[in-house]
């Protein structure tokens, strides 16, 4: 039985999509959301930093989001008589529009003062503003209040990969969206506000600063940048896990104490371009990799899992889908903090030798 996709809407009109595991035991019927909800907040406004040209979304409604609530009021658990959560019924994986988004809900061209195009955003001037068109979605990996993505069965991980793929395709089609970014923040040391196992997807109205820098590097180096990096790493000492279609490695110039990159072996711009066989394989590889990260120490490792994808309208033939897992954990009881040099100047100092870090992660993956 294939993974089923069941779209519906919440009481305030936000979209909710259920993704049922291929081996699900759930009924296809789901309860409606009958909560009396307030109107959605106004769309945030972006302001341009004239010193860098970068855009900053001022999203004051985010101040009202839940902050580590007790388990009985988990807003990502299925609704109950005492918990009016965001998801009205049982689920395997669920994706819904964030109630307090950084981007959206109004989309170009309907939004006032929406960005015209990338050329418009690239112009520089004092006090420039644009509406923060786009979309922010929450991806719930499990109905359980606690747990982690790595501990879910492989069939559930495959459902999560399918959700990322389907949502990447759908969000890329929205007016004004220039880049789609699935990610997971895991652990209080990273700043999570909910313990429930979940991730997010941001659909930006611009090409992000990190991706803009990558595009500049490709322009300078040439279109084979990702292929050459992969070829070099696959025969080197920093590989931590490899399969038929994917290789994970610690990068040559790792910034973080724990930093792992994963690349597909062929040019794939985003999740939506993966074949079904590649999605099957990725589910197993990613699960093994996360289990290895958690096996580094006696308790779970805080991390950011960032899925970098090609922008919607540029770099499709040269930017390759790539995962970057980073953790500030430099020892069992020590964290790396971004202080003066990193935070203020963007000048990084690594705490660990990448080859030694790779050996530790490789051993943890094998142990896990």
Q: List, for residues 65-103, the tens digit of each pLDDT value.
A: 666 778 889 999 999 999 999 999 999 999 999 998 999
By the 8 A CB rule, do 189 and 139 touch?
Answer: no
Mean pLDDT over residues 232-249, rounded?
97
Q: Are residues 178 and 245 in the same domain?
A: no
Number of helices followed by number of strands (H, E) in the chain: 7, 16
Q: Are residues 243 and 194 in the same domain?
A: no
- State the Cα–Cα distance between residues 286 and 151, nearest whole angstrom: 11
Per the DSSP assignment, residues forming a β-bridge with 203 are 135, 180
Domain stops at, among 206, 235, 260: 206
Predicted local distance difference test score (pLDDT) of residue 110: 62
Predicted local distance difference test score (pLDDT) of residue 267: 98
CB neighbour list of residue 346: distance below 8 Å, 6 or more residues apart: none
Q: Are residues 180 and 237 in the same domain?
A: no
- The verdict on whether omega for the bond into residue 105 sits within 30 degrees of 0, i.e. cis, is yes
Give just the sign of the alpha carbon dihedral 94, 63, 303, 272.
positive
In the DSSP assignment, the letter for residue 54 is: -
pLDDT over threshold 90, residue 60? no
- State the Cα–Cα distance between residues 275 and 245, nearest whole angstrom: 11
Q: What are phi and psi of 138, to 5 degrees?
A: -105, 135
Q: Are residues 260 and 187 in the same domain?
A: no
Q: What are phi and psi of 161, to 5 degrees?
A: -60, -40
- The verdict on whether omega for the bond into residue 127 sits within 30 degrees of 0, i.e. cis, is no
Of the candidates 114, 100, 122, 112, which has an alpha carbon nearest to the alpha carbon of residue 38?
A: 100
Element (H, E) at 16: strand 15-20
**Domain span including residue 63:** 4-206
Residue 87 neighbours by CB distance under 10 Å:
24
CA dihedral of 68, 71, 76, 77, whole degrees rounded to 10 = 180
- State the Cα–Cα distance between residues 265 and 263, nearest whole angstrom: 6
Q: What tokens does 116 get?
A: 């015209």
Share of residues in the chain with pLDDT > 90 (%): 86
Give 184's Cβ-side CA count (13 Å radius).
Answer: 25
Q: Are residues 264 and 159 in the same domain?
A: no
Mean pLDDT over residues 109-138, rounded?
90
Give just the sign of the alpha carbon dihedral 309, 133, 66, 20.
negative
Predicted confidence band at 39 (pLDDT cuts at 50, 70, 90)? confident
130 dihedral zone (left: phi>0; alpha: psi -120 to 50; beta): beta
Domain stops at, among 184, 206, 228: 206
Between strands 198-204 and 179-186, the pairing is antiparallel
Element (H, E) at 278: helix 276-294
Q: Are residues 155 and 277 in the same domain?
A: no
For residue 92, give the 3-state DSSP assignment. coil
Predicted local distance difference test score (pLDDT) of residue 61: 74
Predicted local distance difference test score (pLDDT) of residue 109: 56
- State the Cα–Cα distance between residues 142 and 164, nearest whole angstrom: 15
Predicted local distance difference test score (pLDDT) of residue 108: 52
Q: Are residues 14 and 62 in the same domain?
A: yes
Mind listing the pLDDT tens digit for each residue in 8-30? 999 999 999 999 999 999 999 99
Specify the number of domains making up the chain: 2
Q: Are residues 83 and 126 in the same domain?
A: yes
pLDDT over threshold 60, residue 107? no
Mind listing the pLDDT tens digit for each residue in 148-177? 999 999 999 999 999 999 999 999 999 899
Active-site position among 116, 195, 196, 198: 198
**Quick check: is 198 catalytic?**
yes
- State the Cα–Cα distance between residues 247 and 256, nearest whole angstrom: 19
Q: Are residues 85 and 178 in the same domain?
A: yes
Q: Are residues 184 and 242 in the same domain?
A: no
- State the Cα–Cα distance between residues 278 and 280, nearest whole angstrom: 5
Query: How far is C-alpha 123 from the chain's CA centre?
Result: 28
Predicted local distance difference test score (pLDDT) of residue 37: 94
CA distances from 288 to 125, 158, 177, 331 (A): 48, 13, 32, 21
Q: What are phi and psi of 76, to 5 degrees?
A: -110, 0
Of the listed ranges 69-83, 229-243, 311-325, the least confidently predicted one is 69-83
Q: Are residues 65 and 181 in the same domain?
A: yes
pLDDT over threshold 70, residue 358? yes
Mean pLDDT of all residues belonging to the chain:
94
CATH code of residue 76: 3.30.428.10
By the 8 A CB rule, do 155 and 92 touch?
Answer: no
Q: Are residues 161 and 65 in the same domain?
A: yes
* pTM of the shown model: 0.96
Domain stops at, among 183, 206, 229: 206
Of the candidates 268, 266, 257, 251, which has an alpha carbon nearest to the alpha carbon of residue 342?
A: 257
Q: What tokens does 214 get?
A: 């990558």
């Amino acid at each position: 039985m294939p993974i089923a996709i069941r779209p519906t809407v919440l009481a305030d009109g936000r979209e909710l999509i259920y993704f049922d595991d291929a081996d699900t035991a759930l009924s296809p019927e789901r309860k409606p959301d009958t909560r009396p909800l307030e109107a959605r907040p106004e769309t945030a406004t972006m302001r341009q930093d004239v010193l860098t040209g970068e855009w900053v979304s001022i999203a004051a409604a985010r101040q009202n989001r839940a902050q580590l609530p007790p388990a009985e009021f988990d807003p990502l658990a299925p609704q109950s008589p005492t918990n009016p959560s965001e998801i009205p019924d049982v689920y395997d994986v669920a994706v819904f529009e964030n109630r307090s988004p950084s981007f959206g809900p109004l989309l170009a061209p309907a939004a006032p003062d929406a960005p015209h195009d990338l050329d418009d955003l690239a112009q520089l001037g004092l006090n420039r503003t644009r509406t923060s068109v786009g979309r922010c979605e929450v991806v719930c990996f499990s109905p359980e209040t606690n747990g982690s993505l790595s501990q879910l069965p492989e069939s559930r991980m495959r459902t999560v990969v399918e959700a990322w793929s389907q949502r990447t395709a759908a969000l890329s089609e929205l007016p004004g969206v220039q880049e789609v970014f699935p990610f997971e923040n895991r652990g209080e040391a990273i700043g999570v506000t909910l313990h429930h196992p979940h991730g997010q997807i941001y659909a930006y109205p611009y090409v992000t600063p990190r991706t803009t820098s990558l595009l500049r590097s490709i322009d300078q180096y040439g279109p084979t940048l990702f292929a050459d990096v992969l070829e070099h790493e696959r025969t080197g000492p920093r590989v931590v896990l490899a399969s038929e279609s994917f290789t994970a490695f610690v990068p040559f110039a790792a910034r973080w104490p724990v930093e792992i990159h994963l690349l597909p072996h062929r040019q794939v711009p985003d999740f939506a371009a993966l074949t079904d066989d590649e999605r099957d394989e990725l589910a197993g590889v990613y699960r093994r990799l996360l289990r290895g990260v958690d096996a580094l120490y006696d308790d779970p490792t805080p991390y950011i899992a960032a899925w970098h994808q090609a922008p919607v309208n540029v770099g499709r033939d040269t930017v390759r889908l790539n995962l970057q897992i980073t953790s500030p954990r430099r020892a069992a009881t020590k964290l790396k903090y971004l202080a003066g040099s990193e935070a203020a100047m963007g000048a990084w100092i690594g705490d660990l030798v990448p080859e030694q870090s790779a050996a530790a992660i490789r051993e943890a993956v094998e142990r896990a």
